[in-house]
Amino acid sequence: MTAPRPDSDSAPRVPASAGPIGPRTAEEAEIWKLLEDVTDPEIPVLTVADLGVLREVRIEAGVVEVVITPTYSGCPAMNTIESDIRRRLQDAGHPDVKVTTVLAPAWTTDWLSEAGRAKLAAFGIAPPAETSGSKRALFGDSPVIACPHCGSQNTECVSQFGSTACKAQYRCRACLEPFDYFKCI
């Protein structure tokens, strides 16, 4: 359920406990569909919708407002994502675009779509193995990560830091291939 909309345009209107809010009107659905072309510059196989970064679309008085949440507060890709959202909508005939970044609630890997998880695996990146609420995530126990290349669970963490801050580097002991693991956040 969406929180009541306050009078102030600067106040976030996204519910404090919710993940992405899908389109509520046909016009919002049209905008959402256009934004499914906007990809994450660090993982170009994922769209902002797949990633769960796209939170909400609102249209008021001819202005399209897109609400996004970064995967973490220092994510360097967010400026590019914001520019890509603005350009995609303007190219589609929506000249008045406002992109609002909302930090609360914090993004979680639970917001990754099932299609996004499948795309990660097909791209050679192991998707998060658990939900953010699992005790393993809280206490740092290492989950069993299946190799996205051969499916083996005989893998090892090589480094908690992968090619981006949201990934760890793993190696499969069965096929010997290295791979990234999208960390559970």
Each residue of 53-91: pLDDT tens digit? 999 999 999 999 999 999 887 888 899 999 999 999 999
Residue 127: inside a domain: yes
Q: How many Å apart are CA 167 and CA 14, to the nearest integer? A: 27
68 three-state secondary structure:
strand
Do 59 and 125 belong together in one domain?
A: no
Looking at every residue in the chain, the average pLDDT score rounds to 83
Residue 14: inside a domain: no
Do 34 and 102 belong together in one domain?
A: yes
| Strand ranges, E, within the chain | 54-60, 63-68, 97-101, 125-126, 155-159, 167-172, 178-182
Instruction: Give the H/E segment covering residue 102.
Output: none
Instruction: Assign 164 a pLDDT band (cuts: 50, 70, 90).
Output: confident
User: In the chain, how many domains are there?
Assistant: 2
- Listed residue (22, 96, 10, 83) closest to 56, CA to CA: 22
> At a CB cut-off of 8 Å and minimum separation 6, what does 167 contact?
125, 180, 181, 182, 183
Residue 169: inside a domain: yes
For residue 2, the model assigns a pLDDT of 35
Residue 76: inside a domain: yes
Do 102 and 115 belong together in one domain?
A: no
- Note the pTM of the prediction, 2 decimals: 0.74
CATH number for the domain spanning 40: value is 3.30.300.130
Do 97 and 41 belong together in one domain?
A: yes
Q: How many Å apart are CA 7 and CA 75, to the nearest integer? A: 30
The residue range of the domain holding 117 is: 110-182
| Residue 120 reports pLDDT greater than 60 | yes
Do 78 and 97 belong together in one domain?
A: yes
Q: What digits encode the pLDDT tens for the residues 145-157?
A: 999 999 999 999 9
Residue 11: inside a domain: no
| Residue 1 reports pLDDT greater than 50 | no
**Total Cβ atoms within 10 A of residue 8:** 8
Do 127 and 96 belong together in one domain?
A: no
Do 135 and 170 belong together in one domain?
A: yes
Residue 20: inside a domain: no
Do 70 and 85 belong together in one domain?
A: yes
Q: What is the CA radius of gyration of the chain?
A: 18
- Running DSSP on this structure, what letter comes out for residue 62? T
Q: Residue written as tokens 């992109």?
A: 99
Last residue of a domain, one of 64, 83, 107: 107
Residue pair 152/172 in contact by the 8 Å Cβ criterion: yes
Helix 26-35 × helix 78-91 angle, to 10°:
120
Percent of residues, the chain, with pLDDT higher than 90: 56
Instruction: Assign 5 a pLDDT band (cuts: 50, 70, 90).
Output: very low
- Running DSSP on this structure, what letter comes out for residue 87? H
Do 93 and 157 belong together in one domain?
A: no
Do 131 and 81 belong together in one domain?
A: no
Residue 9: inside a domain: no
Instruction: Assign 171 a pLDDT band (cuts: 50, 70, 90).
Output: very high
Do 90 and 123 belong together in one domain?
A: no
Residue 19: inside a domain: no
Do 166 and 139 belong together in one domain?
A: yes
89 three-state secondary structure:
helix
